[in-house]
Amino acid sequence: MKIVFFGTPQFAVTTLVKLRENPDIEVVAVVTQPDKRRGRGNKTLPSAVKKVALEHNLPVWQPPKIKKDPETLDLLRKTKVDAFVVVAYGQILSEEILSMPKLGCINVHGSLLPQYRGAAPIQWSIVNGDRTTGITTMLMDRGMDTGDILLKAETEIKLLDNAVDLAVTLADRGADLLLETLFKLEQKEINPIPQSDSLATYARLIDKADFAIDWSQSALEIHNRVRGFFPNCAAKLDDKKLKVIATVPITETTVKDLPAEYRILQQQYSELNQIESKPGEIVKNIKNLGALVQTGSGFLLLTQVQLAGKRTQSGWDFVNGMRIVPGTKISNG
């Protein structure tokens, strides 16, 4: 089977690699976003997908606007492949492009559609506290993630998973599901199922304002935000930005299911509930773990942080280095 692969970020790399390794698949070309300036040095760098494509000596096409790029459109027409595979490419495909391949354009989406259509399904599923998510393969149409569903695979979201952890899991599941989808489509073993728009939800683009921590929220809400928008959420300590990178929620519902290294908090939970404190106030330093912060409901253990101008450090190193004491106030972001 011949395919053209469309993708840009790291999430798409796993699928490209598995396609490339499969003896029954030929990746004719790779389409990815143009190189962008990134990092502190503001250097022009290729996408994660482009790096891998070049390592495998695959042709790479990088049109700034694919719908209006005559050269790329002509190249795509001439490929005469079985399918276009699209994984987090980052541009909308025209109706002409969608109609080019024999089997159609097949998208790998990081949610159980029609839930979380849009740009950031993995992040918002965590922020919203979902226990499960998954991967959907679909036939693309002109809408935003509205095409007919081909196959789905469900995945558990664990309490301490962040968006990067979950993306790695989903990328691997998505690659396998995509291969299954391609071969079943070729054998006409899949009946595409139209999505129900009435059940659709949307994963909007993430804004910088979403990174601000509000200690009046519950411990679980803040924890979900921290891991969903990893590693960007922040509060303030003495008017300095404090990035909160990893946390553990200590609540009546979560304390019973914590990993072994946090069991000490289960033993201390009743005692902690007797402490009178306000949201954002550090109530106790937990030895070898970090500072415990009062929230609007429950406590949040800071296990990894980064103070402005400093390196990322463990919660316990932060406590010792900054000489944090109970009663210290951490302000909202």
Contact 123, 167 (CB under 8 A): no
Q: State the sign of the Cα–Cα–Cα–Cα dihedral 156, 159, 164, 168.
A: negative
Pairing of strands 313-314, 299-307: antiparallel
112 carries a ligand binding annotation = yes
Residues 6+ apart with CB under 8 A from 99: none
Which residue carries 């303030």 as its tokens? 236
Residue 277, Cβ neighbours under 10 Å: how many? 18
Q: Letter for the amino acid at 123?
A: Q
> Do 115 and 157 form a contact (C-beta atoms < 8 A)?
no
3-state SS, residue 178: helix
Q: Which residue has the tokens 């949610």?
A: 111
Q: State yes or no: 249 annotated in a binding site.
A: no
Consult the annotation and say whether 113 binds a ligand: yes
**Distance, C-alpha 25 to centroid of its chain:** 27
Q: Binding site for (6S)-5,6,7,8-tetrahydrofolate, residues?
A: 111-114
Q: Binding site, residues?
A: 111-114
